[in-house]
Structure 1
């Protein structure tokens, strides 16, 4: 499709849109320079510093995204020392094939050690590269003005902040950048018949796959392009997909053979391995993602499951508004532009489902935002060009104005707020480290087992010990966190070496998203189930269909034994928990106080 304007065509040249996009990408991306390290970054930092872990990790310097291997013996050993929680599903697998992402993160560590701003600057360069290549793709398949507007929108898209500011998600930006380049080469090969373009496409797609699974999420765009715009008849379109199909088949076979994938977790779902659970989860995740794409409503809020109905409604509203606006400008589009919009929006919609195999959040929106930016650019451009004193044109212009406010005016605010939250998360984990430092005697710690009765939230529960280990501090023999629950709990001593936790005002243990990272709801614990942590035995004393309500913990020594370091979070501090006499009064653990 020749999109170059005639010498007398009105409007800006693409070069102007290009440089505006780059300026915005750099300016907004620079806000990430203050975001610091996120909790999971400390896993990678500890691995690259070669700090001895409390038990063998799945992560290695060139394979840092292999967090849970799915090997029960390995998983249970990590649970016994407290790296994983006691309720972990032995078969849980969270292992992602991202060797180039691992390599470049390791290069940062070699060059900059733990200077987070240098890592962030490196990520910013990749983001600018992504914006450049997205703009080149848009220019190839769209009229100049629409391509330019789409590039600007993609550069400032609010949800991109969540990916850029979180360092371990750099692999997503890298994979998408190479994938977009491969898509552009694929189109060039199909439309111009250039063999070197086919080679470029396959090399680019391979690099994208070596960066991460994001290329798999991008693949619907390749299929949709062939369906809507691929040259020739149906058999020609199918033949055009053979090189890409062979590459993807080899990738999937190797991926499975090397033990990569996800399973046993509610955070990461496998559409092929557990299709029913995946589809059920998508019924809540996809509407929230659509709300994020169309209305800039951050889908991260559905971590609070009570907000799922609200975001389902917002998703329906956003999809309806967006569809009506596209329908409103549709008559103004040329046939070639309609085909391009068709495959771009189809790719965006299907990729929304694939991307939300990871738990819904702004970080899952970057691939579908590629096509959504095209759809929105078409609406904004043609709504302005077609403004007239008719009811339909006026309604479309009004709706387009609303979208412009949401996505153009609102996006910089989202960038700033996201980076502010990330910097606060970094500061929070620093405070958590300080609280544990105050609470522990580091000379005694290597001879003790830490028992944290209550974590303020799942992030502190999961990553508090990780941050401690990654900083090179002396390690206890084990670091057991008994509960991540946000509900008010009651702790009762039930024997010389035992205690139990129960919920005082309703609710259930193991029902939050954070608690289900390591054990999916489809692997429920039941009354009477026991878990042996080699020094602590856990028993589910009471449970119903929704989960446990009372849990007992029995240790191999009395609770007063100096080999146990019993602590609780209280009023934003880590304080000792002094066991009462057997039969003594219970005490409350009000986790909400310490948040």
Structure 2
């Protein structure tokens, strides 16, 4: 790179049409997500809205998956595709009335046509990018804010919020928070009186959209405590704490959230600090490094849901240390205005991430925290690329580090965005194919039992697709094992058999412990009724089943039964062995490819 290259880059970033160019480029990147169609939880929400399940939440509370009512959960397990090992006291009730209402409205207007839903998601994301551009323009004027906007807009971590209809709650919450934050900054910096009310109102609307808005309080508090002094107003800790008082409304939010039954319990996937502080602390220690690693170095944190988490934690810690060292090396070239901005943007991002880290782990949790990480990356790239007065190893290392960040977050980011979108489209089509090709057989309504399928896209998500497309095809859907292992099926009687995973117990994967926390072990003799069958735990290892006994109530050859297993890309029928004989069920990767 020639000596004048950073200056030319800054001039390009300061072009008067740069924001418009970023919005157009973002729209082009987001457009292929239209091909995703409906995906995973989308079908559950539509089944809720059409009351296809025995118990469906109301249209304004679609994210009430489990209410924590043991009697209702047992009834749900007995009659639906909820796994048999589900904890009766499981609670996953995410209070998102605005997002629920939006999905209900879209369903009423658009029905089974996915295109308009995706156009709504893309429009929301473009609005969020435009709002982020206004925010960066205010706190980081010039080339740095422009580069931060580009990094934010094209981040591959945002693929799910853009392309997955069920993630519209993230876009709603983040957009309202950013608009409210801008209004608050205008009030504090310019004395714009409407901002005094619009700021808290934006946070309130964001919270109606989803819990992601809780992260907005991190930026709010960080700005009041570490941002620039208010113009023409009192400074000092007392004044700043008083300015942060609106964020105390979060206490009222939590009180209302709990009063209407919101929250999560008895699950390893969703962890909340109020009811399970120790579990939340454990989850934060594991998940924060992974997510920071994705934010700083684009290390795909979603893979940690299928692969051992240790390497992702180590890589995240290394990326954090590297970014800190690079910032220190760049410090002499960072203007005071940018230092002041980063003093609240980066802590705000950290607080936002800490607040939201209890959600189901994945890169989508970075949508709001990236409002702080993107400016940090922009500063490191622009200031790190500058030549120092005394060239040497330190200067070369600084410029190499900045160049690497530029390659990852600017040059490769659009390709990663498109690649992740393509993967989502591919998985969506595969799940539809799984539902279409499942060897269920012709109606009348079948009782379907999935003996072994470790990938949720093969085990649980085909069920709502089958129900939506052919309501008379099945009467019940039961998943017997999602262990990532081969299984042995031994027939013990005309209507009974045992099922045992080979070399590992059940309930070790993220999508298994979603329904039951490891803190609630199963015991030998525990029995569950599902789909007219009796499922009993026969052996355990540390509270995790290693063998279960199943009695279907009718002979395995009954034509109204469909005993299936995931095999070589399809849910295929299991040919029942003779009584006393054992059948080996090999493990095959599912549609996602890692489960």
Q: TM-score, normalised by structure 1?
A: 0.92
**After the TM superposition, which residues 162-201 of structure 1 pair with which residues of structure 2 at under 5 Å, given as runs?**
162-201=160-199
Describe the shift of the 1:243–1:280 C-alpha distance in structure 2 as closer, same or farther (beyond 3 A).
Answer: closer
Aligned to 2:295: 293
- Mark the runs of 5 or more structure 1 residues left unpaired by the alignment: 1-8
Counterpart-to-counterpart distance in 1, 2:572 and 2:311: 38
Deviations for 1:187-230, whole angstroms, at most 9, x for unmatched residues?
A: 22222333311111122112111111111022211111111015
The partner residue of 1:239 within 242, 249, 254 is 242
SS of corresponding position for 1:38: coil
Structure 2, unpaired ranges of 5+? 1-9
Alignment of 1:309-324 (within 5 A): 309-324=310-325
Output the CA distance in 2 between the equivalents of 1:197 and 1:573: 56
1:588 aligned partner: 584
Structure 1 residue 122: Cα displacement: 1.3
Note if contact 2:491-2:577 (Cα within 8 Å) is conserved in structure 1. yes
Residue 566 of structure 1: aligned partner: 563
Question: What's 1:479 paired with?
Answer: 477
CA contact (8 A) 1:455 1:483 kept: yes
Instruction: Tell me, in whole angstroms, the C-alpha distance in 1 between the residues paired with 2:360 and 2:182.
Output: 29
Question: Displacement, 1:519?
Answer: 0.7
SS of the equivalent of 2:245 reads helix
CA–CA separation in structure 1 for the residues paired with 2:531 and 2:153: 52
Question: What is the aligned partner in structure 2 of residue 251 from structure 1?
Answer: 253
Corresponding residue number in structure 1 for 2:536: 539
CA separation in 2, counterparts of 1:594 and 1:377? 38
Q: Secondary structure at the match of 1:592?
A: coil
Q: Is the 8 A contact 1:500 1:553 kept in 2?
A: yes
Question: How far, CA to CA, are the matches of 2:442 and 2:491 in structure 1?
Answer: 25
Residue 20 (structure 1) shift: 2.7
Which of 81-90 and 383-392 deviates more? 383-392
Residues 29 and 570 of structure 1, relative CA distance in 2, 3 Å threshold: closer
Q: Does the aligned pair in 1 maintain the 2:467–2:474 contact within 8 Å?
A: no
Within the candidate set 101, 112, 115, 1:114 is matched to: 112
Q: Which moved more, 1:147-156 or 1:386-395?
A: 386-395
Distance 1:594 1:291 in 2: 27
Cα pair distance change 1:109/1:533, threshold 3 Å: closer
1:130-169 CA distance string (max 9 Å, x none): 1111111111112322111111111111211132111111
Say if 1:387 and 1:394, in contact at 8 Å, map to a contact too. Answer: no
Cα distance in 1 for partners of 2:347, 2:246 equals 22
2 CA distance for matches of 1:16 and 1:397?
28
Question: 2:425 pairs with 419, 423, 433, which one?
Answer: 423
Give the secondary structure class of the aligned counterpart of 1:363: helix
Aligned residue runs from structure 1 range 459-498, under 5 A: 459-474=457-472, 476-498=474-496
552-561 or 355-364: which moved more? 552-561
Q: Is the CA contact (8 Å cut-off) linking 1:456 and 1:486 kept in structure 2? A: yes
Q: In structure 1, what is the Cα distance between the partners aligned to 2:70 and 2:451? A: 25
> Which range moved further: 172-181 or 186-195?
186-195
Mapping of residues 497-508 of structure 1, within 5 Å: 497-504=495-502, 506-508=503-505
Q: Is the contact made by 1:81 and 1:480 (CA closer than 8 Å) also made in structure 2?
A: no
Tell me which moved more, 395-404 or 24-33. Answer: 24-33
Q: How far apart are 1:441 and its partner, in Å?
A: 1.6
The TM-score normalised by the length of structure 2 is: 0.92
Residue 274 of structure 1 corresponds to 276
2:58 equivalent to 1:60: yes
Instruction: Find the counterpart in structure 2 of residue 151 from structure 1.
Output: 149
Number of residues of Structure 1 aligned to a counterpart in Structure 2: 576
Alpha-carbon distance in 2 for matches of 1:14, 1:594: 47
The alpha-carbon deviation at position 260 of structure 1 amounts to: 1.2
1:342 aligns with 2:339: no
For 1:531, what is the secondary structure of its paired residue? strand
Alpha-carbon distance, 1:386 to partner: 5.0
How much has 1:368 moved relative to structure 2? 1.6
CA contact (8 A) 2:352 2:369 kept: yes
The match for 1:5 is none
Q: Distance in 1 between matches of 2:318 and 2:499?
A: 43
| Cα RMSD (Å) | 2.1
